[in-house]
Amino acid sequence: MSIGAGIALFAIGAILVFAVNVEIDFVNLDMIGYILMGAGALVLLIGIVLLARRRSTETVSRTAVDPVGGERVTRRSTSTSGDDVL
C-alpha cells in the first residue's frame, strides 16, 4: 500500500508543478507540488525498504550422529518470515 501511495503522491505533485499554470496569491502551487513529490519519493523508498525486510529467509543446518549406524546426518530447514506465510 505504501508503494502505491508514494507513486500517487509523486504523480499529484508532478501535475501541480508541471501541468497547472494557475496563480493564486496566498498559495504557491509549485512549492506544494515539490513538497508532494518529495513526500512521495520518501514514502516509496520506505515502502521498498519495508518490503525487502519482510521477505527474509533463514536457513538452519543441524548435524548429528546416527546412534544406530554411526553416520553423520545433516538436516537443513528453511523458514521464511513474513505476512505471506499461510
Q: Are 41 and 82 in contact (CB under 8 A)?
A: no
pLDDT of 63: 77
Q: Indicate whether 34 belongs to any domain.
A: yes
Instruction: Give yes or no for residue 11 having a pLDDT over 80.
Output: yes
User: 24-79: per-residue pLDDT in tens?
Assistant: 889 999 999 999 999 999 999 999 998 887 766 777 777 777 777 777 777 777 77
Separation CA 16–CA 10 (nearest Å): 10
Task: Say if 86 falls within a structural domain.
Answer: no
pLDDT of residue 85: 44
Using left for φ > 0, alpha for ψ between -120 and 50, and beta otherwise, residue 73 falls in beta
Specify the pTM: 0.63
| The predicted structure's pLDDT at residue 64 | 78
Q: Does residue 66 lie within any of the structural domains?
A: yes
Q: Is residue 47 part of a domain?
A: yes
